[in-house]
Structure 1
Amino acid sequence: MIKPLHSKALLRYLVLCASLGTATFASTPALANQQADKAAISARLHDWAAAFNTRDAAEACTLFAPDLISTVQGAADAGRDAVCARLSALLENTDVSFHYRPDIQEILVSGGMAVVRLVWTLTEQQGEQQNVSQEAGLDVFKRQPDGQWSIIRFMSFPIEPD
């Protein structure tokens, strides 16, 4: 014979079931959250381009996490300080105007990590001479403790015209 649960035992059982259900739903990423994360990452990349295009190196560097490692063709791997120093030096050259535009191809989000495939188009102008180049890139983002998405790894390489 099954013994009926006492009211305190029944209450504890119901509270346990409710808390397990809440924990399960809370740990399951909702599609809406993924869309919000993708939008936030996309905004960070466009904000970076805007900062670069206005020569605000300090603002542009906020996209990079403290533990950044960059891999760029023709250069040694570099951390955040080295990347930001190169960026600052480049943007101090007022003889050349620069304009970067991101073309985001794909954003994959899984929990607190995301991978972005994109192509950057750089237009450089010095006097009458203009040069347009493209770089393919793969960025790995991590959600930081403050909730902001930052790049922890990136790779880029030039796309050679056919």
Structure 2
Amino acid sequence: MYKWILIFFNLFLISSSLFASTNDANFKQFQEVFSQWTKAFNQKDLTGSCNLFDKSLTASYQGYSTKNYTTLCDGFKKVFAEKNRRYHYRFKLHQVYHSADLAAARITWYLTINEKGKAPIKVQDEGMDVLKKYEDGKWKIVNYLAYKTDKED
């Protein structure tokens, strides 16, 4: 029995790697999806920032309570209203696993927080986003897991 489980697991890894991409059209498509979100966030565009997320969102960030669509967008609203701080995101997309209308993206987020008279705060997060493609052709995040890392790229 153990032998069959091991064989199945290895076949799964091999077949999964066939769908992983870093430089094909799928990868570029998701690069654009995250670029649009980054642009919206950096411009304090609440609608554009919330558009990437599905209404059924489950968002887990290590050390914090689980968020949903409403609590996530309320957080954006609060951040965008801050007058003394400027938040700026950039990202590095590592891999995209894509099959039919589901995809998983391994991504690193870099956040810089600037406040007048203080040194910039830099935060790096590693994450895995699960996206679903809808009938209108748009991809939305339905689930994500993320954690802060001390590593700097």
Q: TM-score, normalised by structure 2?
A: 0.79
Letter of the structure 2 residue corresponding to residue 158 of structure 1? K
Asked if 1 retains the 8 angstrom alpha-carbon contact of 2:27 and 2:95, the reply is no
In structure 2, what is the equivalent of residue 145 of structure 1? Answer: 135
Q: Does 1:61 align with 2:54?
A: no
**Deviation string, structure 1 residues 100-131 (Cα, Å, up to 9, x no partner):** 00110111111111000011001111013211
Structure-1 separation of matches of 2:54 and 2:123:
26
Q: One-letter code of the match for 1:131?
A: I
1:108 aligned onto 2:100: no
**Hey, what does 2:84 align to over in structure 1?**
95
Paired with 1:128 and 1:44, the residues of 2 have a C-alpha distance of 34
Alpha carbons 1:65, 1:152 under 8 Å: kept: yes
- Alignment of 1:159 onto 2:146: no
Deviations 1:7-43 (A, max 9, x none): xxxxxxxxxxxxxxxxxxxxxxxxxxx9444322221
After alignment, is 78-87 or 35-44 more displaced? 35-44
The residue type equivalent to 2:53 in the other structure is F
Unaligned 5+ runs, structure 1: 1-33
For residue 117 of structure 2, what is the amino acid of its counterpart? E
Comparing both structures, which one devotes a greater share of its residues to helix?
1
Letter matched to residue 44 of structure 1: V
Gaps of 5+ in 2: 1-22
Q: Distance in 2 between matches of 1:73 and 1:57?
A: 24
What amino acid maps onto 2:150 in structure 1?
A: E
Percent sequence identity is: 24
User: 1:140 touches 1:151 (CA, 8 Å); kept in 2?
Assistant: yes
List, as ranges, runs of 4+ consecutive aligned residues in structure 1 with deviation greater than 6 Å: none
CA root-mean-square deviation: 1.7
Query: What is the aligned length?
Result: 129
Q: Which has the larger radius of gyration?
A: 1
Offset, 1:161 = 4.4
Tell me the secondary structure at the aligned position of residue 72 of structure 2. helix
Amino acid in the other structure paired with 1:96: R
Listed as ranges, the matches of 1:1-162 within 5 Å are 35-129=24-118, 130-161=120-151
Secondary structure at the counterpart of residue 78 of structure 1: coil
The structural deviation recorded for 1:48 is: 0.6
